[in-house]
Amino acid sequence: MTKTTSKSGGRWAKSAEFYARALELMPGGVSSPVRSFKSVGLSPVFIKSGQGAYLTDVDANHYIDYVMSYGPLICGHAHPAVRAAVSKQIGRGSTFGCCSPLEVELAQIITTAFGSMEMIRFVNSGTEAAMSAIRLARGVTGRKAIIKMAGGYHGHMDAMLVSAGSGATTHGVPSSPGVLPRVAESTIVVPFNDLPAIEAALASQAGDVAAIIVEPIMGNIGVVLPRQDYLRTLRDLCHAAGALLIFDEVMTGFRVGYSGAQSLYGVMPDITCLGKIIGGGLPVGAYGGSAAIMNHVSPAGPIYQAGTLSGNPLAMAAGLATLRLLDPQEPYGQLELLGRRLADGLAAAAAAQGIPVTVARSGSMLTLFFTGSAPASATVGAAHTSAGAKSIISNYADALMCDTRDYARFFSAMLEQGIMLPPSQFEAWFISAAHTPDDIDMTIEKAGAAFVHCREAHL
């Protein structure tokens, strides 16, 4: 039985009451598995409101937030410009089932920012974006096989729930019941950062691989960065094999840089999946590519995809307001400084207590890996390692070797001190433009005390 979050009387009493009711009404008491706090041995906290970098729960506890709705709130909770845009639009109507000028305006901003996307189609979630991108790749190439990376999460569609990350990793269900073998058999899984494995997979399925789909920076097993030239070589291998390259930038798009990871690494995919930030915190997704590819999508072409709420005016308004707050320089310069400050501080605080960790980071997204059990591995990208850490995480197998018990201890100690982290070792933390240097320094200070708790647990 999952223990209650509360360790100090009735501090989380109302959350416990809501959870008890939710258990009777929803599977596991939640609308998405990672929210259950199951992997950290607690019951979930129920949030009442968010403002800037902070959350307040139903028991009036306050937190510095590093979940940020798993990425979309790059400008913080309830930004005035986003609130005003949504409020203005709701007064005009929430959905029409007809075309809206907002779709055109948002599409223009996105295609200008992403050079690989001449045309896009809006959908309602990252799952829909990836599902539609895969159907498009199969329809354009006339092939069926898809290569994905072990631990890569591209939504909960059947074909991608094979060695999947995110909640599927946290809850130990990398291949979900209900996925038919004949569906899964067309998905080929290889390790991230392993080019020989890609070459072998392409050779074994010669002429039948429609696409390689990859998070250019993995985020659903925690942040894992690509090795030098890995993405560029994927691009070359796809071209040589007649397959398409799909970048799932649902998490990284407009997050690691204005034009996403593809601009950061200088590699243009054939199809890009977006979500999160382009809806400003409202449900949204999109996929896009060249006009030659996208004109295969109905009604321009024969590949069908539709959705009554696709391009929903509220999501478009929130997305427009958010993207208009961003440009190629800011807040990315500020976020880089804050991200480096937090990563360096966490690594130093862990080293002071002899706790082996690696902090993997790209801009404002990072993961604190408890690497005491992880194997030796090659260094990839920007990472910060505490004294005694054995590795830098480069793939799914490395991530699974991390000490999830220490992460659970750390999470609990941070929650007690008013720091909200993702309730899983296998998720990314997110910093927003609303976070301040003081927030970062306070987080590092609290982390020092949490690492003491971890060290004492080993004595």
Among the listed residues 57, 59, 65, 248, the single catalytic one is 248
Catalytic: which of 19, 66, 70, 153? Answer: 153
Residue 155: predicted pLDDT: 80
CA distances from 236 to 189, 270, 319, 364 (A): 19, 12, 33, 29
Instruction: Write down all domains in the chain, each with its CATH number in brackets.
Output: 13-77+329-458 (3.90.1150.10), 80-323 (3.40.640.10)
As a whole number of angstroms, the distance between CA 203 and CA 386 comes to 40
Please give the pLDDT value at position 237. 98
pLDDT 10s digits, 74-98: 999 999 999 999 999 999 999 999 9
Burial class (CB in 10 A: 0-12, 13-18, 19+), 420: buried
CB atoms within 10 A of CB 266: 9
Average pLDDT over residues 112-118: 97
Residue 12 banded pLDDT, cuts 50, 70, 90: very high
- The answer to whether residue 248 is catalytic is yes
In this prediction, residue 157 carries a pLDDT of: 67
For residue 148, indicate whether it is catalytic: no
Catalytically annotated residue among 38, 148, 276, 446: 276
Instruction: Find the mean pLDDT for residues 134-138.
Output: 96
Those residues with Cβ within 8 angstroms of residue 271's Cβ, 6 or more apart along the chain or in another chain: 133, 136, 137, 211, 244, 245, 246, 247, 287, 288, 289, 293
Packed helices 101-113 and 313-323: angle between N→C axes, nearest 10 degrees: 40
Question: Could you please report the per-residue DSSP string of 48-80?
Answer: EEEEBTEEEETT--EEEES-GGGTT-TT-BT-H
State the average pLDDT over residues 369-377. 67
Q: Which helix (H) or strand (E) holds 196?
A: helix 195-204
pLDDT of residue 172 exceeding 50, the answer is: no
The per-residue pLDDT for 6 is: 45
Q: What are phi and psi of 169, to 5 degrees?
A: -75, -45
Lowest mean pLDDT among 43-47, 63-67, 376-380, 427-431: 376-380
Q: For residue 116, what pLDDT band results from cuts at 50, 70 and 90? A: very high
Q: What is the rounded distance in angstroms from the CA atom of residue 95 to the CA atom of residue 88?
A: 13
Whole-model pTM: value is: 0.91
pLDDT at 9 over 50: no
The interaxial angle of helices 437-458 and 404-416, nearest 10 deg, is 130
153 catalytic residue (yes or no) = yes
Average pLDDT over residues 389-398: 78
Choose the weakest-confidence range: 28-42, 240-254, 263-277, 432-446: 28-42
Helical (H) or strand (E) element with 352: helix 332-352
* Structure-block tokens of residue 250: 């649902």
